[in-house]
Amino acid sequence: MATDATKPEGPDFEQGIDAGELKDGEMIAGRVGGEAVLLARCGRNVFAVGGTCTHYGGQLAQGILDGTTVRCPLHHAHFDLESGEALSAPALRSLPCWNVEQKGNRLRVTTIRAGRPTANPPTEALRSIVIVGGGAAGHAAAETLRSRGYRGQLTMLSADTDAPCDRPNLSKDYLAGTAPEDWIPLRPPEFFGDNRIDLVLGARVTSLDVASRRAVIEGGRTYAFDALLLATGAEPVRLTIPGADLPLVHYLRTLADARAIIAKLAATRRVVVVGSGFIGLEVAASLRARDIAVDVVGPEAIPLEHALGPDLGRFVRATHEEHGVTFHLGQTVTTIERDAVVLANGKRLAADLVVVGIGVRPRVDIAQRAGLAVDDGILVDEYLATNVAGIFAAGDVARCPDPRAPRPIRVEHWVVAERQGQIAARNMLGERVPCRFPPFFWSQHYDVQISQVGHAERGDQSEVKGTMQGRSFVVAFRGSGKIHAVATVGRDQQCLRAEVALERQDDEALAAIVT
């Protein structure tokens, strides 16, 4: 995965800084040799850790401190300042740590030091763990099992033909042609062998035998488990109209899907995107970056209104129109032809390629057949345990209680899937970690990143503070007098502070952040 390779700026911490420059609760970005380093003071302690986030290279000094952790401004990874440990996805790798000394009034960063190792919980009871799914949740769970000291057999069965990949990038830089393919794997191939993770690709689990604790894959091979994680994600909803099977029609979920689209782009001048949700619009932005003409067809009057409210939806539409996208809203597609798409109003849009993004459905079939409790998602408790002992579920497929929501929610966000995978892994090992973090997602449209924390309920009123034209604003989603979620553009720190307030269920602090 890519990280920011720009030369670090700021004071040379080997030379030192005046100790008074670093106040309690503050951070300073600087450098040691050629490396970016973050210096942070938390009470009596001063910490020095790597200054760039191990996810996409976000500048941690632009994030926030919370106790002895730092949160990244871009996609809200959390790092422990004492150990450098990546505590919360999307960052999976730790930060380097340095020693700091104070002599007189001078603070200096000295030698690199080892991070504190994670305490190993007892794991003797489990000899074999099987993870079904090689996506965000499954991969994060596998890493966590090993980093928390699990030493038994660990098998990841994935229907994908590629190793776990950075799925969000597939509709963004990778599709736009600005991210090379070697940025896409979450880990290099040797990672799995080095960590004794038996990654089996192209392995679709067809059934689970709950009584004898076995997972069966296509072809009949079985895998015994003491504990199992279902992380089967979601699959794109397919069009069923005439022409839906024509070769110009594509969906985007896997790296193989993305490769298939990209392979056709050299001969593509016009694309019709069916669906004006997040994936459809990110695809539109990436194809415009390649100078391909894009029409977007969607049934709603304002794109993304159901998710982001009318004001932010209109903002997103205007951003796309500024970049040359043509919208056909309040419309559905009735027929696809060899070189065109026909709309319900009779209009015919020429197309060399059609990309369909009309939503996803949780992949619950094997859980359902095995008799697990399912209701538009696999039902889990706050420890991500299903109704069958030893079987857990995480990610897009899981429906989980949220302390801030009136009923269990199922979320389709990358960071949520990874964090749930991490929590499920710890609970498989016998820790009792409740899943209570507020959902977070981001979406990228050209140079505009939308970030959102919390879970807006249908019917919530959205209220905008700040300047949309200046691309610096906050949107609060409010219902029954409470703020349920906060979306931001150009206000990363506010979004992080809202995350902390939501975690603590501190309504007053949350209201103060969005005023």
Ligand X SMILES: Cc1cc2nc3c(=O)[nH]c(=O)nc-3n(C[C@H](O)[C@H](O)[C@H](O)COP(=O)(O)OP(=O)(O)OC[C@H]3O[C@@H](n4cnc5c(N)ncnc54)[C@H](O)[C@@H]3O)c2cc1C
> CB 234 → ligand X: shortest distance, Å?
6
> CB 429 → ligand FES: shortest distance, Å?
25
d(CA 40, CA 69): 10
Q: Which stretch binds ligand FES (CB under 6 A): 68-76, 242-250, 367-375, 399-407?
A: 68-76
User: How many CA atoms, within 13 angstroms, populate the side-chain half-sphere of residue 244?
Assistant: 13
Residue 279 site contact among ligand FES, ligand X, none (CB < 5 to 8 Å, cut-off depends on kind): ligand X
Residue 90 site contact among ligand FES, ligand X, none (CB < 5 to 8 Å, cut-off depends on kind): ligand FES
Number of residues that bind ligand FES (CB under 6 A): 11
In the list 36, 46, 77, 234, the residue contacting ligand FES (rule: CB under 6 A) is 77
User: How many CA atoms, within 13 angstroms, populate the side-chain half-sphere of residue 407?
Assistant: 6
Distances (CA, A) of 273 to 285, 316, 321, 396, 495: 11, 15, 14, 23, 30
d(CA 429, CA 426): 5
Amino acid in position 231: A
In the list 27, 91, 199, 398, the residue contacting ligand FES (rule: CB under 6 A) is 91
> CB 176 → ligand FES: shortest distance, Å?
18
d(CA 112, CA 506): 38
**Residue 56 within binding range of ligand FES, rule CB under 6 A:** yes
- Residues 6 or more apart whose CB falls under 8 angstroms from that of 396 comprise 137, 233, 234, 360, 362, 410, 411, 412, 417
Beta-strand pair 378-379/348-350: unpaired
Q: Which stretch binds ligand FES (CB under 6 A): 53-61, 241-249, 445-453, 507-515?
A: 53-61
- Cβ distance to ligand FES smaller for residue 55 or 484: 55
C-beta of residue 397 within 8 angstroms of C-beta of residue 375? no
d(CA 5, CA 280): 30
> CB 499 → ligand FES: shortest distance, Å?
12
Residue 167 site contact among ligand FES, ligand X, none (CB < 5 to 8 Å, cut-off depends on kind): ligand X
> CB 257 → ligand X: shortest distance, Å?
8
Q: Could you count the other beta carbons within 10 Å of the beta carbon of residue 42? A: 19
**Residue 64 within binding range of ligand FES, rule CB under 6 A:** no
Beta-strand pair 293-298/17-18: unpaired
> CB 71 → ligand FES: shortest distance, Å?
8
> CB 142 → ligand FES: shortest distance, Å?
20
Residue 187 site contact among ligand FES, ligand X, none (CB < 5 to 8 Å, cut-off depends on kind): none
Residue 145 site contact among ligand X, ligand FES, none (CB < 5 to 8 Å, cut-off depends on kind): none
> CB 50 → ligand X: shortest distance, Å?
24
d(CA 466, CA 486): 13
- Cβ distance to ligand X smaller for residue 174 or 327: 174
Q: Give start and end residues of each alpha helix (H) in 216-373.
A: 255-265, 278-289, 305-322, 365-369
**Residue 75 within binding range of ligand FES, rule CB under 6 A:** yes
Interacting residues toward ligand X by CB under 6 A: 132-138, 157-160, 167-168, 170-171, 203-205, 231-233, 252-253, 279, 363, 366, 395-397, 412-415, 417, 441-443
Residue 58 site contact among ligand X, ligand FES, none (CB < 5 to 8 Å, cut-off depends on kind): ligand FES
Q: Which stretch binds ligand FES (CB under 6 A): 28-36, 51-59, 320-328, 475-483?
A: 51-59
Residue 157 site contact among ligand X, ligand FES, none (CB < 5 to 8 Å, cut-off depends on kind): ligand X
| Backbone phi, psi, residue 85, to 5° | -60, 140
CA 443, 266, 322, 236 dihedral sign is: negative
C-beta of residue 454 within 8 angstroms of C-beta of residue 413? no
> CB 47 → ligand X: shortest distance, Å?
29
- Cβ distance to ligand X smaller for residue 133 or 454: 133
C-beta of residue 381 within 8 angstroms of C-beta of residue 401? yes
Residue 417 site contact among ligand FES, ligand X, none (CB < 5 to 8 Å, cut-off depends on kind): ligand X
Structure tokens at 1: 């995965």
**Residue 393 within binding range of ligand FES, rule CB under 6 A:** no
d(CA 80, CA 367): 36
> CB 77 → ligand FES: shortest distance, Å?
4
- Cβ distance to ligand FES smaller for residue 91 or 380: 91
d(CA 372, CA 513): 41
- Cβ distance to ligand FES smaller for residue 38 or 205: 38
Sheet of 17-18: strand order equals: 17-18, 106-113, 97-103, 45-50, 35-42, 27-32
> CB 39 → ligand X: shortest distance, Å?
31
Q: Which stretch binds ligand FES (CB under 6 A): 55-63, 182-190, 302-310, 470-478?
A: 55-63
The residue ranges that bind ligand FES (CB under 6 A) are 53, 55-58, 72, 74-75, 77, 90-91
